[in-house]
Amino acid sequence: MVHYKELGLVNSREIFKKAVKGGYAIPAFNFNNLEQMQAIIMACVETKSPVILQVSKGARKYANQTLLQYLAKGAVEFSKELGYPIPIVLHLDHGDTFETCKSCIETGFSSVMIDGSHLSFEDNIKETKRVVDFAHEFDVTVEGELGVLAGIEDEISHEHSNYTQPQEVEEFVKRTGVDSLAISIGTSHGAFKFKVKPGEVAPPLRFDILEEVERRIPGFPIVLHGASSVPQEIVDEINKYGGKMENTCGVSEEQLRRAASSAVCKINIDSDGRLAVTAAVRKVLYEKPGEFDPRNYLGPARDALKVLYKHKIEKVLGSLNRA
């Protein structure tokens, strides 16, 4: 057993409390490799923002559990070395079972998500409570989910979203003891969030649901998944340098700013980072076909990621200077 405190990490309790009170959201950036982690830490140190380093089941498989533990410890030391230690949470994204959550808790994660959103209400409560009871023994915080996002969640593809039903949230929170709740208000995972024709705008998020949730559980930390904006200029760059991405669509920054100023205190961003990396790598390889040193394309990818993350923190989430 390696406890997260030994790695210098924090759980999400205090930073969420401050974020809800302060009307901003903490960035939860997914990472799978060294360059992504470096970019996240550099961006967050430079903006003095707390951060949630988020690891999916796929990322765990890709990066290796042991290496992840050391990368997270390294992230803490790296932030100190950069001159401004920031609060860092290591979070399991879309934990699928009690066993996955337990294994993460035992190897240094300070926060886990148990995603029972595809289960019945009762089974979701049962599974979430089981994780909460175990996690809290180690002071690890837990995120649950009610409602299903359109797109891909946990390798299950959903054609349509199933919005969170506000009348369920009080009972869910009370009976499970979760520390935060992911809700479905119209966001979705990936780079193709809404089926819109060129020139059409995406449907607005259901702020009425968010407001009703807030009314029923005032001050409770709310999480927004599927919150990439899929910037058109990055998609254009990908296509300019040989890519083929059509009909992409994300959530507007304006709507995310509005959400961040509410009880939404964690905003998950993965796809935008993937796009930024792809655009940067494509550009280098297109312009310099003879390039074969990975540092010369992964380095620019890391730089592009850092720019993207700083933009999110400063202009969208509002977590600047909150560390």
Q: Which residues are catalytic?
A: 93
Length of the chain: 323
Stretch of 11-19, 194-202, 203-211, 222-230 lying at the interface with ligand 13P (CB under 6 A): 222-230
Binding mask 176-215 for ligand 13P (x = CB under 6 A): -------------xx-------------------------
Nearer residue to Zn ion within complex by CB, 209 or 227: 227
Two tokens, residue 60: 């765990």
Rounded-to-integer distance, Cα 204 and Cα 19, Å: 24
Nearer to ligand 13P by Cβ, of 54 and 107: the residue is: 54
| Cβ 30 to ligand G3H shortest distance, Å | 5
- Is 94 among the residues that bind ligand G3H (CB under 6 A)? yes
By the rule CB under 6 A, 227 interacts with ligand 13P: yes
CA distance 115 to 113: 6
Closest CA to 181 of 216, 233, 231: 216
59 binds, among ligand G3H, Zn ion, ligand 13P, none (CB under 5 to 8 A by kind): ligand G3H
Let me know: does 187 contact 251? Beta carbons within 8 Å. yes
Label residue 168 exposed, middle or buried (CB < 10 Å: 0-12, 13-18, 19+).
Answer: middle
Asked if 161 interacts with ligand 13P (CB under 6 A), we say: no
Binding to Zn ion, residues 205-244 (CB under 5 A): 225
Q: Which residue of 225, 266, 283, 310 would you call a contact of ligand 13P, by CB under 6 A?
A: 225
Task: Pick the closer one to ligand 13P by CB: 78 or 194.
Answer: 194
Measured torsion, CA atoms of residues 10, 81, 24, 28, in degrees rounded to the nearest 10? -60
CA atoms of 300 and 12, how far apart (whole Å):
31
